[in-house]
Structure 1
Amino acid sequence: MLIMLTFVTLRFYVVLRIKKKMAPDDWAVVASLFGSVFYYVVVCLNILRSRWGTHLYNLSILHLKSDELAKTSFLTGGPSQLVWPCIKTIFFLMYLKLFYPLAWLRSCVYAGLTLIWAWYISMFVAQTVLTTPLPGQTWSEAFAGPRYLQIFKLAIPTASFSLVSDAYIWILPLIAISHLQLSFAKKIGVCAMFSAGLVCCIASSLSVYYQYRITKDQSDYTYHVAYVYLIYTLEMCIGISTSCMPHIAQLYRNKRGQRASSATRSVRLPWISPHQSHNQSYTLSKVSTLPGYATKSPYTNITDDPMVRPELYEMDRIVNEYGSHRDPNSGVSFPRDRVHRSVVISQSSVKIPQKKNISEWRK
């Protein structure tokens, strides 16, 4: 139960702080959470006060005829049947949101929702009618009457349907993931999030086994029914926790991205100044407009950082793209980049030495 509450807390942290929007499956989680907590409290009352889990021969007849035992048994019967469809609805709504473009999966989701709600509502009505005292009856009289014993005939069909529905819910996303265009490693990672659904199938199988034992031999009913209650509680907690797995994965990716971003901002390279002087930027912009300055040089723009765009500073590109500079007096060509060697830039002044002769340039 504590693990389930932790997962639900993390889920709603993602919903309220990151997504900032409640989806239909989130509301189904809220309903399932209240229902599972209610069932857990009732089971604790059954075990601690009604002494479920104790062998029948260790209980007194007065205790077996008490109204308290009959009332707690009623709460674990009919009302709990409405908790299961809420938990299973979470998965169907989540599949509808994740795999909505798949038409066949939408049909499977709608069919599953209809069948599950129809089954559990019918079980809720049947068990409520069979376990509620008739007018003029006490709770203890209804608990010991023949009408109450009819619920044992519903035990195995209910547990079997739960097993089939859990297997259906577990296999459905695996088939959908196999049709996605993902790498094998990513498919394994996505399938791992839904692997906890296999635990629900195992719990349902154990429930079928214990329900079969109770149906065949009711001589120690109070002892074996405690295992059924514990398995149902475990299945509820695992189901709700599994539905929170995609949100936990999103929270992990979000936190990892924030750590990477903060680490990148904290790294300061020694050759890159975090702040550029406004005067220097202004001076350089003026230098690029002076007569005789190379017009198409990649060095004229201070924003062309070699750490950002290193391809601008490859020598082959400079020679091929920007060509050479021809002296107007002698007609001798020399690389246009030679002009930059004679440019001295400072924040206070800009000095461009005059060219003397071609022989000095060649040196």
Structure 2
Amino acid sequence: MAGSGIPRWMWALADDFPFAQAPEGVSADFDHPSLVGYHSLTIGCSICIALAVLFAAARLYAKVRIIRKASIDDYFFWVSLPMLLTVLSLYIYLDNHGAYGYHAWEIKIRVLTKPILACTFLHQMFLPATTWLIKATLLFLILGAFKTIKWLRLMCCGGIITMFLFYAATFAIAVSSCRPRGGTDRVSFLAGMASRECAGTDSPIQKMSLGTAIFAVISDIYILILPLPAVRKLNIRKKKKLGVYIIFSSGALACFFSILSLGFRIKSFGTKDLTVDSIPNMVTNMVELTVGLIITCIASVSKLARLFIDNRFGGLFGGNTYPTASDEGQIQMKPRRKHFPGGLSELDSMKTFGTTVDTEINHSTSLEPLYTTPTRHSSVVSGSISNELYGEPS
């Protein structure tokens, strides 16, 4: 990048210089720069904000009105959500104030105002913290669901700690490389953001960006496959097990966007046109994080949808009763168990397909043992998950 690494005092005289040198044979048009991507960053981030808020609202309603029990992943979720919305909003601001969408050689240094520089620096601080919080929320969701399985509990804790250390190191490198130089005015921010350590083609930030993308793919795959062996051993009906598989396997969508983000980062590695070439990576990264946060809401939303269908269309689909055989061998329709708010763990954040440890209408309040297969994991996991999550008789 042109001017990368020059002394701080010279930036005060550099307003009329381009942000980057134009490629050979390309003439820069400062008066009418061409917009690239039609504000795709704004469009993508706006959709992510709408989806995140919608699913968060559904999760909040289900938690307050239906489940009435908080778990540790809830606390991480409600810290992650404002962090993600902040990062998305910063991207939208930068995209609409000339920081992105125009070729770097068609942007003069004067375009980089203090708000733009400050927002860019804040984004580099918020992004690692937000990424870790969302991944930790997913791992705490798994941890709460299968806390009786020792190896899975250790793997979740190990993943949370490993990811924290990695993203803490990422945060430290970003702050130390792009920090304001010599004060908090515009020139100080400019000297930091455009320094060789921050904006150079061989800067630590560029290398860290590629390393972060690789780690994101590995960590997303880790989170995706971690609970699958435990789900396989659940002693529950195939229909219910399929539902749990669907919830946890939805993380494959986050893995897909994570791999896309890695591909875009590899393609743009070492580029001098960061204001354009980095947009696809930014969009896919934001979609990946948003999908990760939405996954933690799927169970609550599914629970809410099921109760809505049972209340509105229960008579049409038989949602409030189930068939059972009497002592005489005749088929009778018995009322389903009602949800008992806050019933034990109820897979904690998963509160989904059909609920839990409750009593039958006008019957005894004792819990009926649904499954008796005495395996090491199925007896423990099915007792704490199956009976609580799937209170309906098979």
Q: TM-score, with normalisation over the residues of structure 1?
A: 0.68
In the TM superposition, what is the alpha-carbon distance from 1:54 to its structure 2 partner? Answer: 1.8
Q: Residue 245 of structure 1 is aligned with which of 270, 293, 298? A: 298
1:138 and 2:188 correspond: yes
Alignment coverage as a number of residue pairs: 268
Q: Distance in 1 between matches of 2:227 and 2:216?
A: 18
SS at match of 1:244: helix
Matched, 1:30 2:83: no
Aligned to 2:10: none
Secondary structure of the residue that 1:54 maps to in structure 2? coil
Match of 1:202 among 256, 270, 288: 256
| 1:52 CA displacement | 0.7
Pick aligned residue for 2:209 from 155, 174, 180:
155
Give the Å deviation of 1:188: 2.5
The CA deviation at 1:191 is: 1.4
> Residue 237 of structure 1 aligns to which amino acid in structure 2?
T
Q: Deviations over 1:165-208 (max 9, x none)?
A: 11111111222211222344433322112333111111111211
- Which string of whole-angstrom CA distances, capped at 9 and with x for unpartnered residues, describes residues 256-285 of structure 1? 444577889xxxxxxxxxxxxxxxxxxxxx
Match of 2:226 among 154, 164, 172: 172
**Residue 98 of structure 2 is aligned to residue 44 of structure 1:** no
**CA separation in 1, counterparts of 2:262 and 2:316?**
53
- 2:77, 2:258 → 1: CA distance? 20
Residue of structure 1 in register with 2:242 after alignment: 188
Is 1:5 matched with 2:59?
Answer: no
Structure 2 residue ranges without an equivalent (≥5)? 1-48, 318-325, 329-394
> In the alignment, is the contact (CA less than 8 A) between 2:231 and 2:241 conserved in 1?
yes
Could you tell me whether the CA contact under 8 Å between 1:67 and 1:138 is conserved in 2? no
Q: Following the alignment from structure 1 to structure 2, what is the Cα–Cα distance between the partners of residues 109 and 244?
A: 19
- Seen in structure 2, the aligned counterparts of structure 1 residues 98 and 60 have a Cα distance that, compared at 3 Å, is same
Cα deviation 1:204-226 (Å, max 9, x = unaligned): 1121122222223x222110122
Partners of 2:237 and 2:316 lie apart in 1 by 29
Paired residues of 1:8 and 1:244 also in contact (CA < 8 A): yes
> Where does residue 155 of structure 2 map in the other structure?
108
CA change 1:185–1:117 in 2 (3 A) is same
Checking the alignment, whether the CA contact within 8 Å between 2:128 and 2:171 is kept in structure 1 is yes
Kept in 2: contact 1:85–1:120 (CA 8 A): yes
Greater fraction of residues in helix: 1
CA distance, structure 2, for counterparts of residue 263 and residue 232 of structure 1: 43
Tell me the equivalent position of 2:280: 227
Q: Give the equivalent residue in structure 1 for 2:46.
A: none
Does the Cα contact within 8 Å between 1:211 and 1:228 map onto a contact in 2? yes
Cα distance change, pair 127–184 in 1 and its aligned pair in 2 (3 A): same
CA deviations over 1:308-332 (Å, ceiling 9, x no partner): x996xxxxxxxxxxxxxxxxxxxxx
Match of residue 165 from structure 2: 118
Is the 1:78–1:123 Cα contact (8 Å) retained in structure 2?
no
| C-alpha distance in 2 between matches for 1:118 and 1:164 | 15
Matched residues in 2 for 1:96 and 1:165: separation?
Answer: 16
CA distance 1:145–1:263, shift in 2 (3 Å): closer
How far, CA to CA, are the matches of 1:100 and 1:67 in structure 2?
Answer: 48
Q: In 2, Cα distance between the equivalents of 1:139 and 1:165?
A: 33
Say which SS state the counterpart of residue 278 (structure 2) adopts.
helix
Aligned 1:59-70 pairs, distance under 5 A: 59-64=107-112, 66-70=113-117
Cα offset, 1:134, TM superposition: 2.6
Structure 1: 5+ residue stretches without partners? 265-308, 312-363
Match of 2:372 in 1: none
CA distance in 2, matches of 1:127, 1:4: 26
In structure 2, distance between residues paired with 1:62 and 1:94: 47
Looking at structure 2, the residues matched to 211 and 263 of structure 1 have their Cα atoms a distance apart, in angstroms, of 51
Q: CA deviation at 1:78?
A: 2.0
What TM-score do the two structures reach when normalised by structure 2? 0.63
Q: 1:2 to 1:310 in 2, by over 3 A?
A: same
> Is the contact between residue 181 and residue 189 of structure 2 (CA under 8 Å) also seen in structure 1?
no
1:278-357 superposed matches below 5 A: none
Distance 2:236 2:293 in 1: 27
Q: CA deviation at 1:42?
A: 0.2
Matched residue type, 1:231: T
CA deviation digits over 1:106-165, x for unaligned, max 9?
011110111111111121111111111232561112222212132112111111111111
Q: Which residue of 2 aligns with 1:278?
A: none
1:14 equivalent to 2:62? Answer: yes
CA 2–127 in structure 1, closer or farther in 2 if over 3 Å, else same = same
